[in-house]
């Protein structure tokens, strides 16, 4: 019997809105239930070493939430965030999970890990529930403004992610304000044409579903939804806010067991919509698996981010994406 290859996950316990103790505890608890081939390595200040049941890689500094990202990554090279990403580059770990400063994580990942050939910018990729299959949305916050080229590259990344999850010929849509080809900004119109062209190439690995409006996104007719980081972030947070409003209304209108029952059922939906909380967003496009958990991750959400990292490594997302990009260039 072939044994599974070892999977090593670096876990940043610093710099989030949760305490390092809480995140360390969550990771330790999770560790006990993981298969033997998965190793977690905590990364954080040495003062937490005596608390840790996991091996701890010492990092003397911490990038805080309110730190300016570009300054922080220059000045705090021994922060857990920077140390973790360098460990990933040096292949000391197979994935890195952090609930720290998003801007710093994106920027330092880009310079330290570098982009995969054929890609220009990393994107934050989230998975959402729909009426049918889970939907991949990117970018949900790494790039405020995007050119058509970036959007097209996000489409390739998202499609490769769904391929890795086992979806054959994933369908890709562009988030837009109408379904017609001429809707939206000029960048969206250019991206539309280019995606249509690419989807007809012999080596195409996705179908192009055209423009998709927010109101039909949750019907689950596409596997990948492409958008710029500003719109994608508004999209996700709006979904979260509305889920909240509806849960509230249900609370007002149902009582006792029935309310609890319905709440439990919809809570799952709500948690999933709380994007970077559960199961975290993948920073996609860089040479390495990086999962960004929400700044105020609960222990469950943080564990869920670690599980996501294990899954993405196990499914071979990076290799699949790299192969697809290489085929396109060849």
Per CB under 8 A, residues contacting a second copy are 129-131, 141, 144-145, 175, 177, 184-185, 213-219, 229-231, 233-246, 248-250, 253-254, 258, 261-262, 265-266, 269, 273
Given the complex with a second copy, which of 28 and 218 has the nearer CB atom? 218
CB-side neighbour CA atoms (13 Å) of 223: 21
Helix (H) or strand (E) holding 303: helix 299-314
Is the CB of residue 271 less than 8 Å from the CB of residue 277?
Answer: yes
What is the SS3 string spanning 263-301?
A: HHHHHHHHHHHCCCCCCCEEEECECCEEEECCCCCCHHH
Nearer to a second copy, 18 or 233 (CB): 233
DSSP lists the bridge partners of residue 226 as 138, 174
CB of 209 to a second copy, least distance (A): 15
CA distance 26 to 23: 5
* DSSP code of residue 66: T
Nearer to a second copy (CB atom), residue 114 or residue 144: 144
Smaller CB separation from a second copy, 83 or 239 = 239
For residues 28 and 230, which CB has a smaller minimum distance to a second copy in the complex? 230
Least Å from the CB of residue 33 to a second copy? 29
Q: Which is nearer to a second copy, 240 or 315 (CB)?
A: 240
Q: Min. distance of Cβ 13 from a second copy in angstroms?
A: 24
Min dist CB 134 to a second copy, Å, is: 13
- Which CB contacts under 8 angstroms, 24+ apart, belong to 206-209? 206/155, 206/156, 206/159, 206/169, 206/170, 206/171, 206/172, 207/169, 207/170, 207/171, 207/172, 208/171, 208/172, 208/173, 209/171, 209/172, 209/173
What is the spatial distance between Cα 7 and Cα 65, in angstroms, rounded to a whole number?
A: 29
Length of the chain as a residue count: 330
Distance in Å, CB of 298 to a second copy, minimum:
16
The nearest distance, CB 237 to a second copy, in angstroms, is: 3
């Amino acid at each position: 019997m072939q044994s599974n290859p070892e999977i090593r996950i670096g876990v940043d316990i610093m710099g989030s809105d949760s305490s390092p103790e809480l995140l360390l505890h969550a990771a330790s608890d999770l560790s006990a239930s993981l298969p033997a081939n998965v190793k977690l390595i905590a990364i954080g200040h040495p003062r937490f070493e005596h608390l840790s049941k996991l091996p701890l890689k010492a990092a003397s500094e911490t990038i805080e939430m309110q730190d300016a990202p570009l300054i922080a990554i220059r000045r705090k090279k021994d922060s857990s965030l920077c140390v973790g990403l360098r460990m990933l580059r040096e292949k000391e770990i197979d994935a890195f999970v952090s609930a720290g400063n998003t801007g710093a994580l994106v920027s330092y990942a880009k310079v330290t890990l570098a982009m995969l050939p054929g890609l220009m910018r990393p994107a934050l990729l989230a998975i959402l529930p729909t009426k049918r299959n889970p939907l991949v949305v990117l970018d949900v916050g790494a790039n405020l403004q995007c050119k058509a080229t970036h959007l097209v590259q996000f489409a390739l990344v998202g499609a490769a992610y769904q391929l890795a999850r086992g979806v054959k010929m994933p369908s890709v849509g562009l988030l837009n304000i109408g379904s017609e080809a001429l809707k939206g900004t000029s960048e969206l119109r250019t991206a539309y044409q280019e995606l249509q062209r690419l989807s007809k190439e012999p080596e195409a690995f996705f179908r192009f579903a055209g423009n998709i409006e927010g109101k039909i996104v949750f019907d689950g007719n596409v596997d990948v939804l492409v958008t710029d980081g500003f719109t994608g972030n508004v999209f996700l947070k709006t979904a979260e806010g509305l889920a909240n409003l509806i849960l509230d209304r249900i609370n007002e209108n149902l009582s006792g067991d029935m309310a609890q029952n319905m709440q439990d059922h919809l809570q799952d939906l709500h948690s999933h919509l709380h994007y970077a909380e559960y199961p975290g967003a993948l920073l996609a496009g860089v040479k390495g698996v990086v999962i960004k958990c929400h700044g105020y991750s609960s222990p469950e959400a943080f564990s869920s981010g670690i599980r996501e990292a294990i899954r993405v490594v196990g499914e071979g997302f990076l290799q699949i994406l790299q192969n697809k990009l290489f085929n396109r260039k060849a």
